[in-house]
Amino acid sequence: MIKGAPFITGQPIDNSGLLSRFLPPIPEGIATKWAADNLEASSYILDPFGTSPEFALELARAGYQVFITANNPIARFLLDLGAHPPNEDELRSALAELASSRVADERLEIHIQQLYRSTCSQCGQPVIAEAFIWDWEADAPYAKIYECSHCGESGEHSVVQSDIELARSFSASSLHRMRVLERITPPGDSERGNVEEAPSVYLPRAIYALVIMVNRLNSLLASPHNFGSDQSKRDKCLIALVLSALDRGNNLWSHPTGRLRPKQLSSSPNFKEENLWLTLEKAVESLASDREPVQFSVFPSTPSDGGGIILFEGPLRELSVDLSIPNSDQQIDFQAIATVIPRHNQAFWTLSALWAGWIWGGEAIGSFRSVLRRRRYDWSWHCGALNSAFSLIANLFPNGTHAFGLVAEAESSFLGASIIAADRAGFSLTGIALRVDSKLAQLYWDFVPGGQPPFQISVTQIVEEQQENLIVANGIKQLTKHGEPTPYIVIYADALSTIVENHFLARDGFLSPADEYSRIDQWIEDTLSFKNNFIRYGGGEKSPGKASLWHQDIDLPSSPRSDNVEIEVYQLMTQRRLDDVIHLDQSICDMFPGLLTPDFGLILSCLESYSDSASFTSRKFSLRTQDEPHRRNLELASVRLSLCDLGNRLEFSPHGENPIVWRDNEGRESLVFYVSSSAAIGNTIFNNAYPPEKSIIVLPGARANLVLRKLRTNVLFKHEIERGWRFLKFRHLRHLLESPSLSRENLDTLLALDPLTESPAQMRLL
């Protein structure tokens, strides 16, 4: 049975590290929390994909032996660098050595800086530009960024003719580009045509600077260093610095906002050409680390004791052969699989092959060279590739082995490809958790080789309808639990769970994994549509993943999940057992497991509404004095008395306690007031017995942001509010009581003077 596992929250990470924009954004602490709950100390864990170096290093630091395969040479370097993190002094020494290397009779630092020489638009003095801004269709930059040391002028300015001429001077010759290509593949190599596209994302000036920089790097790597005692550490520092320039020097950096996570190898419409020497200087700070080193060995060597990394340098298929030989000395008793599922990324994979060849030569690319042959990837292909990997893994593990997989940047297609690929290889899904705003899914499997019955696609329409009806029924149950329109990916994941749990997948070679993915993906999309009475809010016909779903057969909800989350957050705050955001977030995820996992943004909005301080900066919070239960109870009673006094003053007849109904002289309801100390008002809104245009929610002003968030994220809630509901803040009620000009005639006008508006966190008044 597939259970809703509690989402493991982890802690936010610094995304400024080397090549971080290409690596999956995995919060710190998830790996070790899972391992601590499922494994004994010093267990052997296989990470078959090597997608996230930091994920494997976290497990190693916690005392586990992590066997990781990495066919990508750049990923191997990142893993090695993470296991032997350089400090700032080591990096500055390496940078100084690189800076003092010579280009003819000139220092490398000076030579590269002069490639970006310009003049100040204010005083006309020479300056070194920090960057130039380009339109990708132009043959010269249109703007420059600099800070003038003479007059202090700084910022972005238009280029002048000398800037244009300097930029164009590098495009006259393709000599340096040819040197790059020859470094990776010699003329006549069958892969030459596949390589030629990769350098196109670098401007000629960047190519020139990087060729010189890499040449100096190779010279330094071949010669003894003159500082410290660790040749290997010094070499890693040099390579890391140059690799940061190779990353920052391409045209994938959009301007001004930046394409944060590029997937395709194509220039941005507007991009920033950075001063590559300055990128080296900036890289020192982002690369420096004070972490302790991790034991690191290359298979067949293993760490002597305690936790560590065992790296297999090659593709997974070769590892499968090496470790499957009976009675081999290389046998390892793996206790589990833990990995980050790779997402296809043409940009990173192609650039990795380019960078590896550029730095270490074409032979360093090895079998990873195959990524150069493919220009486009789709999810069907990806499902097939993942299935091949999972099938190879299956040869290494006994029945019942636990597996834990993270799907970062999760979308329905990625999730479908991962679950279908693993299931077809004998990995039985036992648990799932999904946090939508983090775009992170956590998957739990048990390896059951041949343990699931084969299913052949039925030719009878009756069986197909029964299967679809079960998917629809489970989708309705999931929506009912949420009590509000739910992102498409959540109900898609629920449908996937239904399919694999009930063995609806084709097996025994009836369909290839790629074809099976296409069938299942289309089947789910067709099922979660209007033909089965599902309602889609947002998204387009070709982009259902951006929609939220609801179902016509569900009555209006009385208890939306967002309201329940707010209530639980408040309860935890009043109990004072927790005082930091991280632990409270985990506690809420434990209460709402699996596909019910609430967005972190919702939890943070609740904390901001009820606390004096709540942010990842302080990570601490405390309940606002005004929201102490006894204080709020007294205030609620005072607000009700104030509403009665105000009604009597306007010659209405107030009745009831909650709601308080103002009746006119003929006994008709004129206004209805619902007093609430929270924004958990779904039950009130959806079960109101009075006309919406006469109904008013009375609540603290501190709840405004939380109500507005619910209006943005819950379409049903928004539709009900727009039927005429109004809001009255406690503070505005006091103003009305004090207003000498208030009358029946101007009441509606005065009520509208203090509407719900977004306010900065922690800057709200009661």
For residue 358, what are its two tokens?
A: 């550029």
- Please say if the pLDDT value at position 474 is more than 50: yes
Is residue 24, in this structure, part of any structural domain at all? Answer: yes
Read off the pLDDT band of 529 (50, 70, 90): very high
Those residues whose C-beta lies under 8 Å from the C-beta of residue 439, and which sit 6 or more positions away, are: 408, 409, 410, 411
Distance CA 410, CA 416 (A): 10
Co-location of 312 and 427 in the same domain: yes
Residue 487's region, left for phi above 0, alpha for psi from -120 to 50, else beta, is: beta
State the DSSP string of 428-469. Answer: EEEEEEEETTTTEEEEEEEE-TT-S---PPPS-HHHHHHHHH
Start-to-end CA span in the chain (Å): 48
32-41 own/partner pairs: CB under 8 Å, 24+ apart: 32/58, 32/59, 32/62, 33/8, 34/8, 34/338, 34/404, 34/442, 35/59, 35/62, 35/64, 35/336, 35/338, 36/62, 38/336, 38/402, 38/404, 39/64, 39/335, 39/336, 40/335
**Tens digit of pLDDT for each residue in 150-209?**
999 999 999 999 999 999 998 755 777 777 877 777 776 766 776 777 788 899 999 999
Q: Looking at the chain, how many residues does it have? A: 766
Co-location of 126 and 255 in the same domain: yes
- Would you say 445 and 538 are in contact if contact means Cβ atoms under 8 Å apart? no
Those residues whose C-beta lies under 8 Å from the C-beta of residue 511, and which sit 6 or more positions away, are: 457, 519
Those residues whose C-beta lies under 8 Å from the C-beta of residue 522, and which sit 6 or more positions away, are: none
Distance CA 478, CA 482 (A): 6
Number of domains within the chain: 3
Distance CA 169, CA 313 (A): 42
For residue 159, what are its two tokens?
A: 């280029």
Those residues whose C-beta lies under 8 Å from the C-beta of residue 576, and which sit 6 or more positions away, are: 623
Cα angle 625, 628, 634; round to 5: 105
State mean pLDDT over 261-274: 88
Give pLDDT, residue 416: 97
**Tens digit of pLDDT for each residue in 651-692?**
999 999 999 999 999 999 999 999 999 999 999 999 999 999
Is residue 582, in this structure, part of any structural domain at all? Answer: no
Is residue 625, in this structure, part of any structural domain at all? Answer: no
Place of tokens 């001063």: 275
Name the DSSP letter for residue 598: P
CATH number of domain containing 415: 3.40.50.150
For 698, phi then psi, to 5°, come to -110, 120
**Residue ending a domain, choose from 406, 437, 452:** 452
Q: 3-class DSSP state for residue 525?
A: helix
Co-location of 259 and 323 in the same domain: no
Give pLDDT, residue 733: 96
CB atoms within 10 A of CB 483: 22
Residue 152's region, left for phi above 0, alpha for psi from -120 to 50, else beta, is: left
Query: Which of 8-17, 308-317, 328-337, 646-655 shows the lowest mean pLDDT across its residues?
Result: 328-337
Query: What is the layout of strands, in order, in the sheet containing 440-447?
Result: 3-4, 427-435, 440-447, 402-408, 336-340, 44-47, 65-69, 308-312, 296-298
Is residue 112, in this structure, part of any structural domain at all? Answer: yes
Place of tokens 């097939």: 384
Cα angle 463, 467, 472; round to 5: 140
How would you write 240-274 as a 3-class SS string?
HHHHHHHHHCCCCCECCCCCCCCCCCCCCCEEEEE
- Would you say 607 and 584 are in contact if contact means Cβ atoms under 8 Å apart? yes
Co-location of 114 and 200 in the same domain: yes
- Would you say 689 and 676 are in contact if contact means Cβ atoms under 8 Å apart? no
Look up residue 146 and give its amino acid. Y
Distance CA 707, CA 724 (A): 16
Is residue 435, in this structure, part of any structural domain at all? Answer: yes
Co-location of 300 and 317 in the same domain: yes
Co-location of 198 and 308 in the same domain: no
Give pLDDT, residue 200: 85
Those residues whose C-beta lies under 8 Å from the C-beta of residue 100, and which sit 6 or more positions away, are: 107, 108, 109
Which residues, in sequence order, are bridge partners of residue 401?
none
State mean pLDDT over 248-277: 86
Give pLDDT, residue 763: 39
Those residues whose C-beta lies under 8 Å from the C-beta of residue 746, and which sit 6 or more positions away, are: none
Co-location of 57 and 75 in the same domain: yes
- Would you say 447 and 400 are in contact if contact means Cβ atoms under 8 Å apart? yes
State mean pLDDT over 458-482: 84
Is residue 586, in this structure, part of any structural domain at all? Answer: no
Give pLDDT, residue 259: 58
In terms of Cα–Cα distance, which of 197, 491, 183 is closest to 355? 183
Co-location of 314 and 447 in the same domain: yes
State the DSSP string of 460-522. Answer: -HHHHHHHHHHHHHHHHHHHHHHTS-EEHHHHHHHHHHHHHHTT-S--TTSS-HHHHHHHHHH
Co-location of 346 and 267 in the same domain: no
- Please say if the pLDDT value at position 227 is more than 50: no
**Tens digit of pLDDT for each residue in 199-218?**
888 999 999 999 999 999 99
Distance CA 712, CA 657 (A): 30
The mean predicted confidence, pLDDT, of the chain is 89
Is residue 407, in this structure, part of any structural domain at all? Answer: yes
- Please say if the pLDDT value at position 296 is more than 70: yes
Give pLDDT, residue 618: 61
Distance CA 499, CA 519 (A): 12
For residue 214, what are its two tokens?
A: 């890499």
Range of the domain at 743: 636-751
Name the DSSP letter for residue 726: E
**Residue ending a domain, choose from 422, 452, 482:** 452
Query: Which of 278-287, 338-347, 460-469 shows the lowest mean pLDDT across its residues?
Result: 460-469
**Tens digit of pLDDT for each residue in 416-432?**
999 999 999 999 999 99
Those residues whose C-beta lies under 8 Å from the C-beta of residue 556, and which sit 6 or more positions away, are: 686, 687, 716, 720
Give pLDDT, residue 179: 79
Listed in order, strand segments (DSSP E) in 664-729 are: 669-675, 695-699, 726-729
Give pLDDT, residue 185: 77
Is residue 695, in this structure, part of any structural domain at all? Answer: yes
Distance CA 494, CA 595 (A): 8
Burial of 200 (0-12, 13-18, 19+ CB in 10 A): middle
Co-location of 305 and 173 in the same domain: no
Cα angle 127, 131, 134; round to 5: 125
Distance CA 24, CA 568 (A): 31
Co-location of 358 and 429 in the same domain: yes
**Residue ending a domain, choose from 387, 419, 452:** 452
Distance CA 411, CA 440 (A): 9
Q: What stretches of 578-667 show up as alpha helix (H) in DSSP?
A: 581-591, 600-610, 629-649
Co-location of 51 and 187 in the same domain: no
Distance CA 7, CA 188 (A): 52
